[in-house]
Amino acid sequence: MKIALVSPYDFAYPGGVVNHITCLCNQLTMRGHDVRIIAPASKVVPDFDRRFIPVGRPRPLPVSGSVARITLSPWLSRAVKRIYAQEKFDIVHLHEPFMPMLCTTFLRLSRAPTVGTFHASGGQSWYKLSWYTYSTPFGKWLLRKWSRNLTGRIAVSPIALSFVSKYFHHDYTVIPNGIDAAHFHPDVSPIPEYDDGRPNIVFVGRMEKRKGVNYLIKAFQVVKREIPDCRLIIVGPGTRLRKRYEGHVRKYNIKDVVFVGYASYDDLPRYYRTATVVCAPAIGWESFGIVLLEAMAVGKPLVASNIAGYASVINDGEDGMLVPRRNTRELSSALVKVIKDKSLQQRLGERGREKAIRYDWSEVTERLVNFYKETIVRYNGGMKNAVPDQYLHGKIERNPDSSLPSRNA
Protein backbone atom coordinates (compact mmCIF):
# COMPACT_ATOMS: atom_id res chain seq x y z
CA MET A 1 0.00 0.00 0.00
CA LYS A 2 1.02 3.60 -0.45
CA ILE A 3 0.38 5.24 2.91
CA ALA A 4 0.45 8.87 4.08
CA LEU A 5 1.15 9.51 7.77
CA VAL A 6 0.21 13.14 8.52
CA SER A 7 1.31 14.94 11.68
CA PRO A 8 0.13 18.43 12.68
CA TYR A 9 3.24 18.86 14.86
CA ASP A 10 6.76 20.04 14.07
CA PHE A 11 8.52 16.86 12.99
CA ALA A 12 11.94 18.26 13.91
CA TYR A 13 10.94 18.41 17.58
CA PRO A 14 10.55 15.28 19.76
CA GLY A 15 7.11 14.43 21.10
CA GLY A 16 4.67 11.59 21.59
CA VAL A 17 2.86 11.85 18.26
CA VAL A 18 6.11 12.44 16.33
CA ASN A 19 7.72 9.38 17.96
CA HIS A 20 4.57 7.34 17.28
CA ILE A 21 4.61 8.22 13.56
CA THR A 22 8.35 7.59 13.28
CA CYS A 23 8.08 4.07 14.69
CA LEU A 24 4.98 3.31 12.63
CA CYS A 25 6.71 4.51 9.45
CA ASN A 26 9.68 2.24 10.11
CA GLN A 27 7.46 -0.76 10.80
CA LEU A 28 5.32 -0.23 7.70
CA THR A 29 8.39 0.26 5.52
CA MET A 30 9.91 -2.99 6.81
CA ARG A 31 6.70 -4.72 5.74
CA GLY A 32 7.13 -3.47 2.17
CA HIS A 33 4.66 -0.57 2.20
CA ASP A 34 5.48 2.75 0.52
CA VAL A 35 5.17 5.40 3.23
CA ARG A 36 5.28 9.19 3.21
CA ILE A 37 5.40 11.33 6.35
CA ILE A 38 3.82 14.75 5.88
CA ALA A 39 4.31 17.39 8.56
CA PRO A 40 5.54 20.91 9.24
CA ALA A 41 9.25 21.11 10.10
CA SER A 42 11.32 23.87 11.66
CA LYS A 43 14.51 22.38 10.23
CA VAL A 44 15.67 19.63 7.89
CA VAL A 45 14.56 16.14 8.90
CA PRO A 46 17.34 13.96 7.42
CA ASP A 47 16.44 10.47 8.66
CA PHE A 48 13.60 9.84 6.20
CA ASP A 49 15.06 11.10 2.92
CA ARG A 50 12.37 11.08 0.22
CA ARG A 51 9.81 9.62 2.63
CA PHE A 52 9.40 13.00 4.36
CA ILE A 53 7.36 15.80 2.77
CA PRO A 54 7.53 19.10 4.71
CA VAL A 55 4.46 21.33 4.53
CA GLY A 56 4.08 24.59 6.44
CA ARG A 57 6.18 26.44 9.00
CA PRO A 58 5.45 25.48 12.63
CA ARG A 59 4.82 28.09 15.32
CA PRO A 60 4.95 27.44 19.09
CA LEU A 61 1.54 27.71 20.74
CA PRO A 62 0.97 27.24 24.52
CA VAL A 63 -1.47 24.37 25.07
CA SER A 64 -2.44 22.27 28.11
CA GLY A 65 0.66 23.06 30.15
CA SER A 66 2.68 22.18 27.05
CA VAL A 67 3.63 23.81 23.75
CA ALA A 68 2.14 22.67 20.44
CA ARG A 69 4.36 23.47 17.47
CA ILE A 70 1.91 23.55 14.58
CA THR A 71 1.43 25.44 11.34
CA LEU A 72 -1.41 27.95 11.41
CA SER A 73 -1.11 28.98 7.78
CA PRO A 74 -4.47 29.19 6.00
CA TRP A 75 -2.69 28.81 2.63
CA LEU A 76 -2.00 25.08 2.64
CA SER A 77 -4.69 23.97 0.18
CA ARG A 78 -2.54 24.25 -2.95
CA ALA A 79 0.28 22.15 -1.42
CA VAL A 80 -2.13 19.53 -0.12
CA LYS A 81 -3.94 19.26 -3.48
CA ARG A 82 -0.58 18.83 -5.22
CA ILE A 83 0.44 16.07 -2.81
CA TYR A 84 -2.84 14.21 -3.30
CA ALA A 85 -2.47 14.46 -7.10
CA GLN A 86 1.18 13.41 -7.22
CA GLU A 87 1.27 10.66 -4.61
CA LYS A 88 -2.07 8.91 -5.20
CA PHE A 89 -2.22 7.32 -1.76
CA ASP A 90 -4.08 4.10 -1.05
CA ILE A 91 -4.80 5.43 2.43
CA VAL A 92 -4.18 8.62 4.41
CA HIS A 93 -3.64 8.38 8.17
CA LEU A 94 -4.15 11.65 10.06
CA HIS A 95 -2.88 11.95 13.63
CA GLU A 96 -5.08 14.35 15.61
CA PRO A 97 -7.25 14.90 12.51
CA PHE A 98 -8.97 18.02 13.88
CA MET A 99 -5.77 19.81 14.85
CA PRO A 100 -5.26 22.88 12.62
CA MET A 101 -4.19 23.53 10.03
CA LEU A 102 -2.38 20.75 8.19
CA CYS A 103 -4.56 17.83 9.30
CA THR A 104 -7.80 19.74 8.88
CA THR A 105 -6.74 20.73 5.35
CA PHE A 106 -5.98 17.12 4.44
CA LEU A 107 -9.34 16.11 5.90
CA ARG A 108 -11.26 18.87 4.14
CA LEU A 109 -9.70 18.00 0.77
CA SER A 110 -9.83 14.24 1.30
CA ARG A 111 -9.17 12.31 -1.93
CA ALA A 112 -8.50 8.83 -0.50
CA PRO A 113 -9.65 6.51 2.30
CA THR A 114 -8.80 8.44 5.45
CA VAL A 115 -8.09 7.19 8.97
CA GLY A 116 -7.88 9.47 11.99
CA THR A 117 -6.08 8.60 15.23
CA PHE A 118 -7.12 10.56 18.32
CA HIS A 119 -4.38 10.89 20.93
CA ALA A 120 -5.81 13.58 23.23
CA SER A 121 -7.27 12.73 26.63
CA GLY A 122 -9.29 15.83 27.47
CA GLY A 123 -8.72 18.01 30.48
CA GLN A 124 -7.47 21.37 29.25
CA SER A 125 -6.56 20.03 25.84
CA TRP A 126 -6.34 22.15 22.72
CA TYR A 127 -9.58 20.65 21.52
CA LYS A 128 -11.54 21.48 24.63
CA LEU A 129 -10.14 24.98 24.89
CA SER A 130 -11.02 25.94 21.36
CA TRP A 131 -12.42 23.70 18.66
CA TYR A 132 -14.60 21.26 20.60
CA THR A 133 -16.10 23.50 23.27
CA TYR A 134 -15.52 27.14 22.44
CA SER A 135 -15.69 27.04 18.69
CA THR A 136 -18.33 29.19 17.03
CA PRO A 137 -21.48 27.42 15.78
CA PHE A 138 -20.06 27.73 12.27
CA GLY A 139 -16.73 26.22 13.40
CA LYS A 140 -18.51 23.29 15.05
CA TRP A 141 -20.56 22.76 11.92
CA LEU A 142 -17.37 22.69 9.84
CA LEU A 143 -15.75 20.11 12.12
CA ARG A 144 -18.82 17.88 11.98
CA LYS A 145 -18.90 18.23 8.21
CA TRP A 146 -15.21 17.44 7.80
CA SER A 147 -15.43 14.56 10.27
CA ARG A 148 -17.63 12.72 7.76
CA ASN A 149 -14.54 12.46 5.53
CA LEU A 150 -12.99 10.06 8.03
CA THR A 151 -13.52 6.52 6.82
CA GLY A 152 -12.04 4.99 9.99
CA ARG A 153 -11.48 6.30 13.52
CA ILE A 154 -8.91 5.13 16.08
CA ALA A 155 -8.37 6.12 19.72
CA VAL A 156 -5.09 5.25 21.41
CA SER A 157 -6.74 4.38 24.73
CA PRO A 158 -10.15 4.11 26.38
CA ILE A 159 -9.68 7.55 27.93
CA ALA A 160 -8.95 9.09 24.50
CA LEU A 161 -12.02 7.33 23.11
CA SER A 162 -14.19 8.58 25.97
CA PHE A 163 -13.07 12.14 25.35
CA VAL A 164 -13.51 12.39 21.59
CA SER A 165 -16.78 10.45 21.54
CA LYS A 166 -18.38 13.12 23.76
CA TYR A 167 -18.15 15.53 20.86
CA PHE A 168 -18.22 13.30 17.79
CA HIS A 169 -20.54 10.31 18.02
CA HIS A 170 -19.06 7.66 15.75
CA ASP A 171 -17.63 4.17 16.01
CA TYR A 172 -14.02 4.09 17.21
CA THR A 173 -11.48 1.28 17.45
CA VAL A 174 -8.93 1.33 20.28
CA ILE A 175 -5.43 0.60 18.97
CA PRO A 176 -2.75 1.63 21.45
CA ASN A 177 0.61 3.27 21.07
CA GLY A 178 3.46 0.84 20.61
CA ILE A 179 7.02 0.41 21.82
CA ASP A 180 10.08 -1.19 20.28
CA ALA A 181 10.62 -4.08 22.69
CA ALA A 182 13.89 -4.95 20.93
CA HIS A 183 15.20 -1.45 21.70
CA PHE A 184 13.79 -1.13 25.20
CA HIS A 185 14.93 -4.30 26.95
CA PRO A 186 16.67 -5.27 30.23
CA ASP A 187 20.01 -6.22 28.67
CA VAL A 188 21.17 -2.69 27.80
CA SER A 189 24.10 -1.13 29.67
CA PRO A 190 23.34 1.46 32.37
CA ILE A 191 24.86 4.95 32.29
CA PRO A 192 28.29 4.40 33.91
CA GLU A 193 28.48 7.59 35.96
CA TYR A 194 25.26 6.73 37.79
CA ASP A 195 25.91 2.98 38.06
CA ASP A 196 27.62 3.22 41.46
CA GLY A 197 25.32 1.21 43.72
CA ARG A 198 23.30 4.20 44.90
CA PRO A 199 19.49 4.14 44.52
CA ASN A 200 18.39 6.15 41.47
CA ILE A 201 14.94 7.65 40.93
CA VAL A 202 14.62 8.42 37.21
CA PHE A 203 12.13 10.73 35.50
CA VAL A 204 11.88 10.79 31.69
CA GLY A 205 9.82 13.46 29.91
CA ARG A 206 9.70 17.03 28.69
CA MET A 207 10.10 19.85 31.21
CA GLU A 208 6.44 20.86 31.21
CA LYS A 209 4.09 21.76 34.03
CA ARG A 210 1.71 18.89 33.33
CA LYS A 211 4.53 16.35 33.82
CA GLY A 212 4.59 17.09 37.57
CA VAL A 213 8.36 17.38 38.07
CA ASN A 214 7.84 20.00 40.77
CA TYR A 215 5.92 17.46 42.87
CA LEU A 216 8.63 14.87 42.32
CA ILE A 217 11.34 17.26 43.51
CA LYS A 218 9.35 18.03 46.67
CA ALA A 219 8.75 14.32 47.25
CA PHE A 220 12.46 13.66 46.75
CA GLN A 221 13.25 15.98 49.67
CA VAL A 222 11.23 13.62 51.89
CA VAL A 223 12.82 10.50 50.38
CA LYS A 224 16.31 11.87 51.11
CA ARG A 225 15.54 11.96 54.81
CA GLU A 226 14.95 8.20 54.85
CA ILE A 227 17.42 7.20 52.11
CA PRO A 228 20.24 9.78 52.25
CA ASP A 229 22.32 8.28 49.43
CA CYS A 230 19.52 8.23 46.84
CA ARG A 231 19.74 10.29 43.65
CA LEU A 232 17.12 11.91 41.39
CA ILE A 233 17.91 11.89 37.65
CA ILE A 234 15.67 14.10 35.50
CA VAL A 235 15.91 13.31 31.78
CA GLY A 236 14.17 15.40 29.11
CA PRO A 237 14.26 18.62 27.10
CA GLY A 238 13.09 22.00 28.32
CA THR A 239 14.54 25.36 29.25
CA ARG A 240 12.16 27.68 31.09
CA LEU A 241 10.87 25.24 33.69
CA ARG A 242 14.23 23.56 34.04
CA LYS A 243 15.70 26.88 35.20
CA ARG A 244 12.86 27.24 37.70
CA TYR A 245 13.36 23.71 39.03
CA GLU A 246 17.11 24.20 39.26
CA GLY A 247 16.48 27.42 41.20
CA HIS A 248 14.23 25.54 43.63
CA VAL A 249 16.91 22.88 44.15
CA ARG A 250 19.54 25.53 44.90
CA LYS A 251 17.23 27.54 47.16
CA TYR A 252 16.43 24.57 49.38
CA ASN A 253 19.89 23.02 49.07
CA ILE A 254 18.55 19.70 47.76
CA LYS A 255 21.50 17.44 47.06
CA ASP A 256 21.86 14.78 44.34
CA VAL A 257 19.39 16.14 41.80
CA VAL A 258 20.79 15.74 38.28
CA PHE A 259 19.26 17.51 35.26
CA VAL A 260 20.40 15.57 32.20
CA GLY A 261 18.45 17.46 29.54
CA TYR A 262 17.67 15.89 26.18
CA ALA A 263 18.67 12.23 25.79
CA SER A 264 18.88 10.49 22.43
CA TYR A 265 16.61 7.60 21.53
CA ASP A 266 19.60 5.26 21.82
CA ASP A 267 20.38 6.45 25.34
CA LEU A 268 16.83 6.33 26.73
CA PRO A 269 16.87 2.58 27.49
CA ARG A 270 20.19 3.05 29.30
CA TYR A 271 18.71 5.71 31.58
CA TYR A 272 15.78 3.43 32.39
CA ARG A 273 18.27 0.63 33.07
CA THR A 274 20.13 2.96 35.47
CA ALA A 275 17.00 3.43 37.58
CA THR A 276 16.13 1.71 40.81
CA VAL A 277 12.62 3.04 40.24
CA VAL A 278 11.12 5.12 37.44
CA CYS A 279 8.69 7.87 38.45
CA ALA A 280 5.97 9.43 36.27
CA PRO A 281 4.26 12.12 38.42
CA ALA A 282 2.13 13.77 35.69
CA ILE A 283 -0.86 15.76 36.94
CA GLY A 284 -3.14 15.00 33.97
CA TRP A 285 -3.77 15.20 30.23
CA GLU A 286 -1.98 11.94 29.45
CA SER A 287 -4.07 9.68 27.23
CA PHE A 288 -1.76 6.70 27.41
CA GLY A 289 1.74 6.97 28.90
CA ILE A 290 4.34 5.60 26.49
CA VAL A 291 7.09 6.35 29.03
CA LEU A 292 5.47 3.82 31.35
CA LEU A 293 5.71 1.05 28.77
CA GLU A 294 9.31 1.93 27.90
CA ALA A 295 10.33 1.63 31.56
CA MET A 296 8.33 -1.57 31.97
CA ALA A 297 9.96 -3.06 28.85
CA VAL A 298 13.37 -2.50 30.46
CA GLY A 299 12.06 -4.37 33.51
CA LYS A 300 12.00 -1.45 35.91
CA PRO A 301 9.42 -0.82 38.67
CA LEU A 302 7.17 2.21 38.26
CA VAL A 303 5.59 4.74 40.56
CA ALA A 304 3.10 6.91 38.67
CA SER A 305 0.22 9.29 39.23
CA ASN A 306 -3.22 7.73 39.35
CA ILE A 307 -4.58 9.56 36.31
CA ALA A 308 -6.84 7.95 33.75
CA GLY A 309 -4.25 7.59 30.99
CA TYR A 310 -1.74 5.93 33.32
CA ALA A 311 -4.33 3.77 35.07
CA SER A 312 -5.24 2.31 31.67
CA VAL A 313 -1.69 0.91 31.48
CA ILE A 314 -0.78 0.06 35.10
CA ASN A 315 -2.57 -2.38 37.38
CA ASP A 316 -1.86 -0.86 40.78
CA GLY A 317 0.26 -3.14 42.94
CA GLU A 318 0.71 -5.73 40.20
CA ASP A 319 2.93 -4.20 37.53
CA GLY A 320 3.42 -0.74 39.01
CA MET A 321 2.25 1.55 41.80
CA LEU A 322 -0.28 4.36 41.40
CA VAL A 323 -0.49 7.31 43.81
CA PRO A 324 -2.82 10.32 43.92
CA ARG A 325 -1.62 13.12 41.65
CA ARG A 326 -0.12 16.22 43.28
CA ASN A 327 0.26 14.30 46.55
CA THR A 328 3.92 14.55 47.56
CA ARG A 329 3.39 12.57 50.78
CA GLU A 330 1.93 9.53 49.00
CA LEU A 331 4.48 9.87 46.20
CA SER A 332 7.45 9.92 48.57
CA SER A 333 6.02 7.00 50.57
CA ALA A 334 5.64 4.85 47.46
CA LEU A 335 9.16 5.68 46.27
CA VAL A 336 10.66 4.77 49.63
CA LYS A 337 8.70 1.51 49.72
CA VAL A 338 9.94 0.42 46.30
CA ILE A 339 13.56 1.45 46.91
CA LYS A 340 13.72 -0.44 50.22
CA ASP A 341 11.96 -3.60 49.04
CA LYS A 342 14.08 -5.47 46.48
CA SER A 343 11.56 -8.30 46.13
CA LEU A 344 8.90 -5.71 45.25
CA GLN A 345 11.26 -4.18 42.68
CA GLN A 346 11.76 -7.57 41.07
CA ARG A 347 8.09 -8.51 41.05
CA LEU A 348 6.91 -5.20 39.58
CA GLY A 349 9.72 -5.23 37.02
CA GLU A 350 9.04 -8.77 35.82
CA ARG A 351 5.29 -8.30 35.51
CA GLY A 352 5.76 -4.93 33.85
CA ARG A 353 8.06 -6.48 31.26
CA GLU A 354 5.48 -9.21 30.55
CA LYS A 355 2.84 -6.57 29.88
CA ALA A 356 5.05 -4.22 27.87
CA ILE A 357 6.06 -6.75 25.24
CA ARG A 358 2.38 -7.16 24.36
CA TYR A 359 2.55 -3.57 23.08
CA ASP A 360 5.48 -4.20 20.76
CA TRP A 361 5.24 -2.24 17.51
CA SER A 362 5.09 -5.46 15.50
CA GLU A 363 1.80 -6.32 17.22
CA VAL A 364 0.37 -2.81 16.99
CA THR A 365 1.35 -2.41 13.32
CA GLU A 366 -0.34 -5.69 12.44
CA ARG A 367 -3.59 -4.38 13.84
CA LEU A 368 -3.19 -1.06 12.05
CA VAL A 369 -2.50 -2.69 8.69
CA ASN A 370 -5.64 -4.81 9.06
CA PHE A 371 -7.57 -1.68 9.99
CA TYR A 372 -6.25 0.01 6.83
CA LYS A 373 -7.47 -2.91 4.70
CA GLU A 374 -10.89 -2.78 6.31
CA THR A 375 -11.04 0.99 5.79
CA ILE A 376 -10.18 0.72 2.08
CA VAL A 377 -12.89 -1.89 1.58
CA ARG A 378 -15.43 0.32 3.38
CA TYR A 379 -14.40 3.38 1.37
CA ASN A 380 -14.96 1.49 -1.87
CA GLY A 381 -18.40 0.29 -0.90
CA GLY A 382 -17.46 -3.04 0.67
CA MET A 383 -16.28 -4.61 -2.59
CA LYS A 384 -13.44 -7.09 -2.06
CA ASN A 385 -12.01 -6.36 -5.49
CA ALA A 386 -11.63 -2.69 -4.48
CA VAL A 387 -8.34 -3.69 -2.80
CA PRO A 388 -5.46 -5.49 -4.55
CA ASP A 389 -5.30 -9.16 -3.58
CA GLN A 390 -1.89 -8.83 -1.92
CA TYR A 391 -3.40 -6.42 0.63
CA LEU A 392 -6.25 -8.74 1.64
CA HIS A 393 -4.38 -11.73 3.03
CA GLY A 394 -5.11 -12.49 6.67
CA LYS A 395 -8.11 -11.90 8.82
CA ILE A 396 -9.34 -8.39 9.57
CA GLU A 397 -9.88 -8.20 13.28
CA ARG A 398 -11.32 -5.43 15.45
CA ASN A 399 -11.22 -5.24 19.21
CA PRO A 400 -12.85 -1.96 20.22
CA ASP A 401 -13.19 -2.95 23.88
CA SER A 402 -9.51 -3.45 24.63
CA SER A 403 -6.48 -1.18 24.60
CA LEU A 404 -4.18 -4.16 24.18
CA PRO A 405 -3.04 -5.31 20.76
CA SER A 406 -3.94 -8.82 19.71
CA ARG A 407 -2.33 -11.12 17.18
CA ASN A 408 -4.51 -12.10 14.23
CA ALA A 409 -5.23 -15.79 13.68
State pLDDT tens for residues 171-222. Answer: 999 999 999 999 999 999 999 999 999 999 999 998 889 999 999 999 999 9
407 belongs to a structural domain: no
Q: What is the percent of the chain where pLDDT is above 90?
A: 72
Q: What is the dihedral of CA 273, 277, 281, 284, to 10 degrees?
A: 60
Cα torsion 362, 279, 211, 205: sign: negative
Residues 155 and 220 in one domain: no
CATH code of the domain covering residue 167: 3.40.50.2000
Residues 208 and 78 in one domain: no
404 belongs to a structural domain: no
CB atoms within 10 A of CB 199: 18
pLDDT for res 49: 81
Residues 300 and 365 in one domain: no
CA distances from 16 to 7, 19, 64, 227, 229 (A): 11, 5, 14, 33, 33
Total structural domains within the chain: 2
Residues 201 and 325 in one domain: yes
286 belongs to a structural domain: yes
402 belongs to a structural domain: no
Q: Are strands 59-63 and 66-70 parallel, antiparallel or unpaired?
A: antiparallel
Residues 125 and 217 in one domain: no
CA distances from 37 to 2, 83, 139 (A): 11, 11, 28
398 belongs to a structural domain: no
CB 13 within 8 A of CB 69: yes
Residues 341 and 376 in one domain: no
Share in percent of the chain as helix, strand, coil (round to 5): 45, 15, 40
19 belongs to a structural domain: yes
pLDDT for res 136: 57
One-letter amino acid for residue 294 of the chain = E
Residues 336 and 373 in one domain: no
How many whole angstroms from its chain centre is CA 102? 19
One-letter amino acid for residue 345 of the chain = Q
State pLDDT tens for residues 110-139. Answer: 999 999 999 987 654 443 444 555 455 667
pLDDT beyond 90 at 11 = yes
One-letter amino acid for residue 261 of the chain = G
pTM for this prediction: 0.86
One-letter amino acid for residue 310 of the chain = Y
Residues 89 and 67 in one domain: yes
pLDDT beyond 80 at 315 = yes
Range of the domain at 68: 2-178+361-391
pLDDT beyond 50 at 57 = yes
Residues 291 and 322 in one domain: yes
How many whole angstroms from its chain centre is CA 2? 24
Report the run of H or E that residue 67 belongs to, with start and end. strand 66-70
pLDDT for res 359: 96
State pLDDT tens for residues 20-35. Answer: 999 999 999 999 999 9
CA distances from 251 to 212, 213, 214, 248, 255 (A): 19, 16, 14, 5, 11
Residues 285 and 334 in one domain: yes
Q: Closest by alpha carbon to 180, among 313, 369, 363?
A: 363
Residues 368 and 386 in one domain: yes
Taking residues 317-341, report their average pLDDT. Answer: 98
Going by pLDDT thresholds of 50, 70 and 90, the confidence category of residue 48 is confident
Distance CA 312, CA 306 (A): 10
Question: Is pLDDT larger for residue 238 or for residue 97?
Answer: 97
Phi, psi dihedrals of residue 357, rounded to the nearest 5°? -70, -15
pLDDT beyond 90 at 384 = no
386 belongs to a structural domain: yes
Taking residues 258-287, report their average pLDDT. Answer: 95
Coil, helix or strand at residue 405: coil
Taking residues 278-301, report their average pLDDT. Answer: 94
Environment class of 165 (CB within 10 Å of its CB; exposed 0-12, middle 13-18, buried 19+): middle
319 belongs to a structural domain: yes
CB 175 within 8 A of CB 364: yes
Going by pLDDT thresholds of 50, 70 and 90, the confidence category of residue 285 is confident
Q: CB-hemisphere CA count at 13 Å for 254?
A: 24
CB 211 within 8 A of CB 205: yes
Residues 354 and 231 in one domain: yes
Letter string b/e over residues 375-409, b meaning 16 or more CB atoms within 10 A of that residue's CB:
bbbebeeeeeeebeeebeeeeeeeeeeebebeeee
Q: Closest by alpha carbon to 209, among 65, 77, 84, 87?
A: 65
